[in-house]
Structure 1
């Protein structure tokens, strides 16, 4: 098998052959739960006409070979060709696939939202070094049943009246999914990928200067997933100064570049203050991506 032949293999058929089935079809696009992580809303798209994929959570995509190399964690095209050669006989036509049910708000039952007070959730926040008073002000405790089993999680409300859900073992969304804006009448804003990063920022500000945190001097935009970046562009563009506290990974870099390209001047990448850490919460906790001397981070904003 050569590269051209590999690129012509139907992506949808290949995914079906390895047990990955779509949630829904929209026009020429099939939507899947991402094969690269656990999620409750489909963010992985396959275009049937172009025979290409794109993962909105990662901010990257490509052809069949790109997918195999990403999934297998390899960089050698010849290795990817070898993998595909062993599977091609079992790949179904692109128009032959089954669907899995998308798990969203309708799948959750007996939803109850209350003040954040569960000891296990409080303990989880403490493990993440989050200042409990900030979490109490900004988050809720969400109880629900899913597939006849009870669950509870920290809930962070978005602008669409949905909730981002998080506990020690689970991360998901109580639909609809959207961004969260906290407006305080300022001409500058801080942008975060998730609410744990936002809470980490507030905690670091309080830790750095307990008597004068200055947290009221900026507005805040929490994307609640880099797949929501486009939804926030119009709002972000309205600020004179934009400070991005995004993750130190490919998806975070891609989101920053998209904001910088579409929002013009005065977009600042603040992730340089926590290089070597995946995100702001990992910096707060001290969980490094690589072994290096911890930076002395002086937060200016």
Structure 2
């Protein structure tokens, strides 16, 4: 099999051969639970017209060869082509188009408002997020996508793009970038680092709950990666801080990201996920939803000292979030 033959294989059919079926369809887009990582909500998209994929959790995408490279963690092209051909030997290739038509941007007629829609505020309330905090940190976006009108929560990044979220829709408006929130007049000594903006909003909600008389986080800066794949983009901004607290997910991607941070800043980094080690992430911790996935609950990469520390915190009856005292 050569490169052109591989790229002619429909991605949806290839994924079906591997045992992955779409969770939902939106026009020409098929949404899957990512084959590259563990997740509960589908954020892996296949565009059947372009025959391309994008994983919004990783911030990566491409053609079938790019997908095989991620799936099998190798970049030897002949080997990848051989595996694709072996797994999809009964799949019929896509018809070749004589001329590719230019495609319009996925998000059009974008309108940015103050966050106020009752459905969006209700969604945040269901996830335990304080409404006043959400109004201050997020925006309300109205746009068309594949010709249909939508509205969603928008969380801005440093490049003018947005993370986009509502109960049924998870995406980003390009460019995909990190968010850097600096408090006070100058750079603070400590920076809190989060994977996604729901983690960040969850932290602020916990902080406000525990410090109702001084709810604003004024002496710490925050960086939200908006995907662990953006960790490299945050490195230069983190370089000037004296201490970095990582509030990453308790899963493989989160632990890998923390090890990368530990290697880059060995004397500065602190693992704040030990405070919610029985939960997948900060939002589950806020809502009291313990992880039910055995592979993630095992915490095989967590040290005995971390486990003992967590038991002491819970046995002492400390209220939720008190471990996040600055």
Return the TM-score normalized by structure 2: 0.67
C-alpha contact (below 8 Å) 1:51/1:63 kept by paired residues: no
- Correspondences of 1:200-215 after superposition (within 5 Å): 200-213=202-215, 215=217
Change (3 A) 1:13 1:204: same
Q: What is the Cα deviation at residue 130 of structure 1?
A: 0.5
Checking the alignment, whether the CA contact within 8 Å between 2:178 and 2:234 is kept in structure 1 is yes
C-alpha change, 1:236 and 1:90, in structure 2 (3 Å) is same
Aligned length: 258
In the TM superposition, residue 260 of structure 1 has moved relative to its aligned partner by 1.4
Q: What residue in structure 1 maps to residue 27 of structure 2?
A: none
Aligned positions of 1:121-200 closer than 5 A: 121-184=120-183, 185-200=187-202
Q: Does 1:16 align with 2:16?
A: no
1:258 maps to which residue? 260
Alignment of 1:74-113 (within 5 A): 87-88=88-89, 90=91, 106-113=105-112
Per the alignment, residue 286 of structure 1 pairs with: 288
Q: Distance in 2 between matches of 1:101 and 1:219?
A: 45
Once the two structures are superposed, residues 135-178 of structure 1 have per-residue CA deviations (whole angstroms, 9 ceiling, x without a partner) of: 11111000000111110000010000011111111111111110
Match of 1:25 in 2: none
Structure-2 change in CA distance of 1:46 and 1:187 (3 Å): farther
Distance 1:128 1:258, change over 3 A: same
Alpha-carbon shift at residue 273 of structure 1 (Å) = 0.7
**2:221 maps to what in 1?**
219
- Give TM-score, length-normalised by structure 1: 0.72
Does the 8 Å CA contact 1:44/1:53 hold for their aligned counterparts? no
**Contact 2:178–2:230 (Cα < 8 Å) also in 1:** yes
Q: Could you tell me how far apart the structure 2 residues matched to 1:47 and 1:123 are?
A: 39
Equivalent residue of 1:238, what SS?
coil
Q: Do structure 1's residue 299 and structure 2's residue 317 form an aligned pair? A: no
**Which residue matches 2:241?**
239
Q: Bigger relative contact order, structure 1 or 2, given CA contacts below 8 A and separation 6+? A: 1
Q: CA deviation at 1:209?
A: 2.0
Q: Deviations over 1:238-275 (max 9, x none)?
A: 21000000111111111111111112312011111111
Unpaired runs of 5+ residues, structure 2, are 15-30, 36-41, 46-52, 55-59, 77-82, 298-310
What is the deviation of 1:215?
1.4
Residue equivalent to 1:61: 73
